[in-house]
Every structure is written in C-alpha cells, then in structure tokens.
Structure 1
Amino acid sequence: METAKYHRMVYTRICENLQKWDNSDFVREDELYSFLHTLKGTAGSIGLHELTSIAREKLELLNEDSNKQWTQSEWKKFLAPFIESVHFYKENDSMTQYMEHPTTIIKNPAKQDFILIIDDDVVFISYLKNVLEKKGYSVIAAHNGKRGLALIYELQPSIVFLDIMLPDSNGFSILDNIKKTKKELMFVTVISSNDCKENRIRTLEMGAMDFMAKPIDEELLIAYVSNRLAYKRELEQAIVIDELTQIYNRKFMESQMKLFIKHHQQHKEHFSIAMIDLDYFKKVNDTYGHLVGDEVLKGFASLVKELKGAEEIACRYGGEEFVILMPRTTKKEAFIFIEKLRTSMEKKTFTANGTSFHVTFSSGIAEATSTNLHPKKMLEEADQALYTAKQLGRNQTIIFDNVAAVEKRKVKIKIVVIDDVYIIRDLITNHFKHLEENDDYRIETLSFPDGISFLESNWYDPACKYIILLDWILPQMDGIEVLSKIREQHASSNVIVSMLTSRVGEEYVMKAFINGADDYIVKPFNVAEVSERIVRLIHQMFL
C-alpha cells in the first residue's frame, strides 16, 4: 500500500534524527523546531494525525530562532512521545490502521463560476473562502488593488467582492478601472464596514451590481451568490441568440461543440456537423438590397427551425454561413437531413419589388471520429467539404472523409512541486501519475528540492500551463523569494502558484497574497482534496 510506504519513510526519518542526536552532546533548539515543523506537515498529510497533533503542541514550547543547547536527557524527555511511537511502530509494522483507503477523484468536474475577493483583511478573506468553497465555488483572493486588477484581467471572474479600503488604493478607483476595461459578463459587489448612504449611492453610480455591509451573514452570502450566478446564466442565454435570425450564434455553437465532443468521447455516440453557405448571396444583396438579403437569411433560419428535430442545433456562423450540430447522428443520416433541407430551400420563393427569386446553398458534413475530436478540426473538415461542394458547382452536399490519423490536441498541464521534503514530493507526483487519462488535457509532474534548482532548470515552456505547489520554508532561498521571481515573469493566467506550508497565521497568508500567490494550502493536507482542487482549477482556468 502507498500509505504504508510513506508511514515507514516518516518513521525512518524520525529514527535517523534520533540516532544522529544520540551521538551528539547536545541539540540546538532551532534544530528541534525545524524537525517538528517538518514532521507536523508531513505526518498529517499521510494520515499520521496523532504525530501531527503532538508536534503542534511541542512547537508552541519552542523558539524558531533560539540557539539554546538541549542536553540528551532534556531532548529525549521532550521527544519521549515520538521515541515511544517509533518503538511501537517497529513492533506493529503491519497494523491494519495504516492500510490505505481509496480516495475519490473528480474525473470530469463541471466548469464552475469563479469568485474573486479583493480585501486587505486576511481573517475576512479566509472566512469568505471557507464559506464559499464549502458550497463548491472556486475562490481566489487578492490582498491589494494592484493584484486584484491583475487577476481580473487575467482570469475574468464571474463575481468580484471588492472592499473600499485597500492598502495601496481606494476600492472606488479599482471599480472605475473595471468599468472602463471589462469585457466579460462580471458582477462587482462592493463590501465595506462603512455602509453610509454616500458609499451605497457611489457604488451603484459607478456600475457595481450591489453593496454589502460587513459583517456578512453566511446564509445571506450563499443566497446572494446563488442568485447572482443564476441571473448571470440567464443573461448569457440571452446573448447567445443571433439578433437577426433568432437562432444560436457562433459563441454558443463553439461551447456546444465542446460538450458534444466530450459526450461522444464518453459514450461513443455519433455526432455530426454541417457547414452551410448560401450560394451567390452577395448577388442577392447587390441586386435586391441588404434589407432583402436579411429577409433571405431569416427565411432560411425559419426553414431550418421548421424541419430540424428537437436535438439539432442551428447556429449562424457569420454572414451567410450557418452550422448545424447534430448529436447522435451519423454522417449518412446527416446527409439525408441536409439534403431534405437543401431541396426545401431550393423550392422556397422569395420576393422583392414584385419579382420572385430562389436561393440555394452548398454544404459540407463532418462526423466526429478518433482523428478529429476538436471543434476547430471538425469545422475545418466540414469547411473543406463545403469548399469541394462549391468547386463542383454549388447547390449540393459533400461528406468529408479523411482516414489519415491525426493526433488529438490536448492542453499540456505541468504540476510542479517545490518542497525539500522528499515524501511530500513523492506523495503528490505519484498521486497524479495514477490519475485516469483525460480527454482534454495531459498532466506531467516535475519536482524540485529547492527554489534555486527550480529557477535554474529552464522549467518554463510557453506551450504549457502550470500549477506550482511551492513550500514556504526551503533551503538557501525561501518560498516567498521564489514566488516573487516567478511573478516577475509569469502571470496567473499561465502559472498558478499555491503556497504549501505548515505556517498558520494571518501575517503569513497576507505575505503570500501580497507577493502574488493564488492560493494557500496548509500542511498537513489530504492529497485527494489537493488533487480535486487542482483538477478543478485546471478546468476553470485553463480549458
């Protein structure tokens, strides 16, 4: 069992330390502190919670920077619980309580809405994160305005909770920047202990969605977030319809293609698309005018809606081009439907200035296969088939048939673990090696024992996305220094950094956020929970 292996490694490490100190006249207090600090985080992460609890209690009695010399009798008495634990483990190495328990891994988490908190109160940040993450929301925090704006531009959150009083700027100036530059649908809520009428009015006048007064009630917060995200989805639905033809637009088509391709991969059901182009449409505009051309586009869309089934999705791709998505449909079945549509369109009569005329279309069909499982690739195949239909004289449907093996493109994700404790590095990297293969991305793992070897490794590849788990206490160069150097070159849109440390306290959380950390994971941790967190981040931020 993997867990039993890690238990043995921890106890072996304890034994090595005890034996080394047994041959010394004394042990310095800072050495004892370092030993227990590392043990606290590592033991808890692999299920040895009792050792973690004892180490935590002992640490409270030590000074991290003290050079006090402890005699053998003193340190042995102080570490007696660990000495007894080692003896007990040696006698019971096959204990059933050390058997590994199965862990649950998120295989295909739904893409969730992303929430950003911009506030300088670390306690408040921790509270909001805890409340929201318990409900399954993904939350990231910024401790100052500069970092908050950077995350807004890079990550485009759905909801932003923005405090008025920030260490480097006024929250209203941040709101003004958001108002001038934001493009995505994003709700900004100003939060403040000063809920005077003036602040509320100014908040709304500057374009924020709401003003919430501190302290914030937990139930009210959850209800608020649920309400706003539901409203956001309604708005998004409203903006995926093409205004002229009243069928779906290109943005919606692209999102649905991704879903249909995933469904095809999971259930092996057929999926086909058709790309349609109205023949000589420019001639219609030139002859009868653009208003008549618009009537032709609306007439074609109306015909599609009349003839298609409940599952087919008709979309306006752009200009006089349309795409029809056909789930659970083979290319031959798609051909039959598109031909029925084509012959109906061919017979449809349009009128302008007392003159009747007809419009035809050309079409190309592509079916999802093992060689084209990417929206761009499927559209390229359908477009090539459409081009062939035009070359052969228009007013016809061509099926694309390509037997060449094409490797499906996947997003490359590299998970980097920087920790001087081998067990932690091995625990995390081994866990991700055993994850089931994913259709959307490929995970690779890298590990480094210190920040210097990481920074000198030429680690960055612009073709990859990165999630870095960075320990705070490292030899020669601490984690905060490494974090600062990462942020000098790389933004959160490509490189997510999570501090991985046993240090607990608002001053440490604050320091991590100020220097550009995206998250803060406290040792001891459950590797399965960390894995779920990372997989969720991948789906929300990189896919």
Structure 2
Amino acid sequence: MLNDKYKIMMCDRITETIQNWEQQNTVEEQEIYTFLHNLKGTAGSIGMEGLSEIAATKLEQLEEKSSKRWEKENWKAFLFQIEETVSFFEKNVKRGQTEENDLPFIKRSKQNNFILVIDDDIVFASYIKNILESKGFMVIVAHNGKRGLELIYELNPALVFLDIKLPDINGFSILENINKIKSNHMFVTIMSVDDSKGNRAKAYDLGALDFIKKPLDADILISYVRNRLVFKQALELSIMTDELTQLYNRKYMNTQLEFLMEQFEKRGEQFSIAIADIDFFKNINDTYGHIVGDEVLKGFSNLIMSAKREEDILFRFGGEEFVLVMPNTSKNTAFSIMERLRTIVGKQPFKGNEQSFNITFSSGIAEINHQNKHPKALIEQADQALYKAKTSGRNQTVLFTKEEQISKKQKLKLIVIDDVAIIRNLVTNYFNKLHVPEEFTMEVAAFENGVKFLESNWYEKNTKYIILLDGMMPQMDGMNVLKKIRKEYSSNDVIVSMLTGRNDEEYVLEALANGADDFIVKPFNIADVTNRMLQLANQLFLKAR
C-alpha cells in the first residue's frame, strides 16, 4: 500500500535523527520541539495516528524557542515511546511479518511439553529458556520455590529443572513436595553448581530423575530434553492406571469403550457412560491446599469404587473428572445409579486443616446408539450433558438428548494492554486474522492503560485469558496491574506475559515474583510472539480438559 511506503520512509528518518543525536553530548530543546512538531503532522497524515498523538503530548511539555540543552539519558527517556513504536514497526510492518497466508492455526496439543525452570539466577534461567525455546519447547521460569510450586500445581509441566539453593525454600524441600503431589509422571532434574556425592545421593533418594552440574553445554541440554520427553511419552503410553487414584486411566478407558462398541455392533449389547465432575474443586485446593485436594480425589475414587456395581468400571478422566462405564445399562438405569452415588458422596465428610467439609459432584450421561458408535462421540455427548449440569446449578445428573444438545466451545480471550497505539493495533489486527477451528472461539481486546483495563469488568467465567501487559504505562504501571490480577486469578485461567523494554535482571525478577508467567522484551517480532501465545493457549485448553 502507498501509505506503507511513507510510513517506512518516516521511520527511517526518525531512526536516522536519533542515531545522529546519540553521537552528541547534548541536544537543544528547540531541536526536539521541531522534530516532534514535524512528526505530529506527518504521522497523522499517513495513518500513524498513535505516533502523532504521542508527539502532540510531548510537545506540550516543550518550549519552541528554548535554548535548554538535554543530556542524552534525559532525551532518550523522553522519546522512549517513539523509539519503541518505530522499533516495533520495523520488526513487523517494514519486514512484512503480518502476511495473512503465514498465520498459524490454533489447535489442541496432544501432549503437554511445558518445561519449568525453578532458579533464582534469572540470567541462567533466561539462558536456558532461550536455548530451549529456540528449538520449539515452551519454557516457564519461576524465580523462587513458592512460585515454582504454584506453577507445578497450575501448569503440570512435563519436566522440571530445579536448583538446590533458592532464596525462600531449599530445593530438596521442594522435591519432597513435588513427590507428594506430582501426576502424569512429571520428571524432575536437579541443576546445581554443587554436585557433591551427598547432594547427588539425596536428590536421587528424594525422587529426582537426574542431577546435572552447572555450567552446562547447550547442545547436550537440548538432546537431554528431547530424550527425556520421548521417554516420558513412551512411559505414559505403557501405563494403564492413574498415578494418584490407582484407577484405570483415560487410555485404558478408550480401549474398553472400543471393545463395548464392538459388542454393541455384533450383539446389540447396550451400555451407558457417565462423566462425573467434583463441584468447586478449585475452591478445595485454594482453601485447604493441594495435598488435601489430592486426598479428596482419592477419597472420592474409593467411595465410588465401593458403592458402584461390580460390573461397572471407573476411570480417572483427568483433573477432577471421572468416567463410569456401565455395561448392559440403559441411560435411565444409569441415571438412577448416578443419583444413588451422588447421595452417598454428599453424605461423606472430608477433613482439611482440622476442619470437616462435604463435597458434591455433577454428572452427564450418554447411551450408546447407532449414531455415536465412537468413543470420542460418546464422550462428547456425556460431556455436553455434564456441561449443562454444571451451568444449571451443579450437584445434579443430566441425560444427554438431541433436543438438549449444547454448544460447548472453548473460549479464549487475548488482551493487549499497552499505551502505544501502533503496538496495540498491530497485535490485535494480527490475532484477529488467526484461523480458529470450530471447537474454539477467540476474542481479542486492547486497552491503552491498566486503569481502563481494571475498570472494564474484563473477566468472564468459563473463559481462558492470555494477557500481554506492558510494563511501563501512565497512571498505573504494569507491575501494579499484574499484582491486582494475581490477587484474584491464578495461571490456571489467566496467563500474564509482561512486555518490557527493560531486560535487566532486577525488573524480570520483580515481574516473576509478582506472578508473571512469561516476559517478552520489546521490540519483539509479532510472529514469534504469536507462536508463544498459541503454545500458552494450548496449555490452557489442556488444563481445561
């Protein structure tokens, strides 16, 4: 487009001017005034209104005829937004990074390959992050043990790299906690400068898979990660029982459903399934802790196992969801069975922090027929009935019927909070062009500052969020916005990635300490950031299952 040609010319001129000024000790205020005055008019004329508005705001703080001289650090800070905007434009528009044909698809990942690095040396952690992400792995960093444990609960990473010496909790204590709660065969690797015999022996005794001495070789690290993830995948495929509850797992459930469907096809043997979901399970974890939450899952499993019919088979479907397969059973009989189990569970007290509490569950039932003779189709029908049970008040059983078929799309909302209009517009336009499969809905929203975002009533239930949050904004900086977000919402539902022009260790540590899940240094390549956001979206949807 014609305007793009002039935008490129204007950005080149801005860059040239700033580079010339950088060669001088000081710059006269009237030079800065003239520069901004010209920028205000030109940018507005060629469609860069955001840059024009920035220039206009800056002009109000200057005098046209002033002979005052500005030191480099002062004029650089004063023009920071303009430099940031130009850098972003050059990385994404000038180089043609937003071609629609290159846009990726959002899709559900079949495997969770998140890697968590728990290390207070942010330089080392960032180094590991960059190495592994350059090879397509998704890495999240925790700067202390408390945040590390939170992310283990919330993100359930495939592989954890853990340092022994941390500012708040000894790494061995974290390893003991991980062993109490870990699921899906999480692999933990100790990374430490101190590889004494005692430390290595203790790490292995407490359940660490490996012990790697710092410093490490980048090529060996990449090969190591690939090796362990392949091994993890093979291990999970070979195991048929759930680690926590000792019930049969989802893989074995699919095998049994296929067998029962063959029997239905050959002999007309009817069967039904129910998906049961423990109500408000997150509140149990938040109130009593994840260890108590795990005990509730085990207790619930034991209750159902002792009360179900002998021929029925119970599986752990994932998280707080369970599937009961009932051979030779109609949906009406299955309804009576689930109601009986619901009454039994509701009467059983549980204990946490010396308090007694009760739980309930919701369930959805589907019956085999000639239209749903596939495990995925049958599960989807039961899941839709469960969804109706949950959205209609919970603690109830719902039968699937065609008349009550429910649209249950997974909702993702991407929010950009940045005071630079060009960055907001380019990011939102790019994400709005993404190809989204039918099972997802994605909405993109943008806010020019944190105050407007927080006042917007932005959060909706049953929606997952990824927030790109600028660190430096007027009225309320990004760090304070982050703190307010984390007071209310965990990484289970809301992932926050800080956008920053500052790559210093202290700032990144502060962001991670306050609950940021990721950090992106400006100027960034929007296509690269999009891939990161899609990986984060995949992880949110995996947790939602």
How many residue pairs are counted as aligned between the two chains? 390
How high is the sequence identity, in percent, across the aligned residues?
42
Amino acid at match of 1:145: G
2:210 corresponds to which residue?
A: 210
2:531 corresponds to which residue?
A: 532
1:427 corresponds to which residue?
A: 426
How far apart, CA to CA, are the structure 2 residues paired with 1:464 and 1:120? 32
**Residues 1:47 and 2:90 aligned together:** yes
**Residues 1:367 and 2:367 aligned together:** no
| Higher Cα Rg, which structure | 1
Deviation at 1:133? 0.7
Matched-pair contact (CA < 8 Å) for 2:496–2:518: yes
2:491 corresponds to which residue?
A: 492
State how 1:440-519 maps to structure 2 within 5 Å: 440-519=439-518
Matched-pair contact (CA < 8 Å) for 1:366–1:378: no
Deviation at 1:155? 0.8
1:302 corresponds to which residue?
A: none
1:289 corresponds to which residue?
A: none
Matched-pair contact (CA < 8 Å) for 2:191–2:213: yes
Deviations 1:363-415 (A, max 9, x none): 8225369xx9783316779xxxxxxxxxxxxxxxxxx9976584531111111
Amino acid at match of 2:240: V
Matched-pair contact (CA < 8 Å) for 1:162–1:188: yes
CA gap 1:252/1:3 in 2 versus in 1, 3 angstroms: farther
Matched-pair contact (CA < 8 Å) for 1:471–1:499: yes
Amino acid at match of 2:271: D
State how 1:184-199 maps to structure 2 within 5 Å: 184-199=184-199
- Backbone CA RMSD of aligned residues: 4.1
Deviation at 1:116? 0.2
Deviation at 1:206? 0.7
Deviations 1:173-210 (A, max 9, x none): 11111112223320111110000000000000111111
Matched-pair contact (CA < 8 Å) for 1:41–1:501: no
2:161 corresponds to which residue?
A: 161
**Residues 1:541 and 2:532 aligned together:** no
Matched-pair contact (CA < 8 Å) for 1:190–1:208: yes
Matched-pair contact (CA < 8 Å) for 1:468–1:498: yes
Structure 2 gap segments, 5+ residues each: 9-45, 257-267, 273-308, 314-321, 330-366, 386-398
1:81 corresponds to which residue?
A: none
Amino acid at match of 2:64: N
1:23 corresponds to which residue?
A: 64
The match for 1:321 among 323, 327, 334 is 327
Amino acid at match of 1:143: H
2:37 corresponds to which residue?
A: none
CA gap 1:409/1:277 in 2 versus in 1, 3 angstroms: closer
Deviation at 1:456? 2.0
How far apart, CA to CA, are the structure 2 residues paired with 1:27 and 1:373? 72
TM (norm. structure 1) is 0.63
CA gap 1:297/1:419 in 2 versus in 1, 3 angstroms: closer
Deviation at 1:251? 0.6
CA gap 1:133/1:321 in 2 versus in 1, 3 angstroms: farther
How far apart, CA to CA, are the structure 1 residues paired with 2:55 and 2:168? 49
State the SS of the aligned residue for 1:465: strand
CA gap 1:101/1:412 in 2 versus in 1, 3 angstroms: closer
CA gap 1:15/1:476 in 2 versus in 1, 3 angstroms: closer
State the SS of the aligned residue for 2:495: strand
CA gap 1:375/1:318 in 2 versus in 1, 3 angstroms: closer
Deviation at 1:48? 5.6
CA gap 1:424/1:174 in 2 versus in 1, 3 angstroms: same
State how 1:105-504 maps to structure 2 within 5 Å: 105-108=104-107, 110-111=109-110, 112-240=112-240, 251-252=250-251, 276-277=270-271, 318=324, 321=327, 364-365=368-369, 367=371, 375-377=379-381, 404=403, 406=405, 408-504=407-503
Deviation at 1:473? 0.4
How far apart, CA to CA, are the structure 2 residues paired with 1:415 and 1:173? 36
Amino acid at match of 1:277: F
Matched-pair contact (CA < 8 Å) for 1:3–1:100: no
2:23 corresponds to which residue?
A: none
Deviation at 1:126? 1.0
Amino acid at match of 1:37: F
Deviation at 1:516? 1.0
Matched-pair contact (CA < 8 Å) for 1:416–1:466: yes
Amino acid at match of 2:87: G
Amino acid at match of 1:32: W
Matched-pair contact (CA < 8 Å) for 1:254–1:375: no
How far apart, CA to CA, are the structure 2 residues paired with 1:39 and 1:514? 29
CA gap 1:171/1:322 in 2 versus in 1, 3 angstroms: farther
How far apart, CA to CA, are the structure 1 residues paired with 2:89 and 2:471? 19
Matched-pair contact (CA < 8 Å) for 2:417–2:469: yes
CA gap 1:430/1:142 in 2 versus in 1, 3 angstroms: same
Amino acid at match of 2:517: D
Amino acid at match of 2:480: E
Amino acid at match of 1:41: E
State the SS of the aligned residue for 1:367: coil
CA gap 1:539/1:40 in 2 versus in 1, 3 angstroms: same
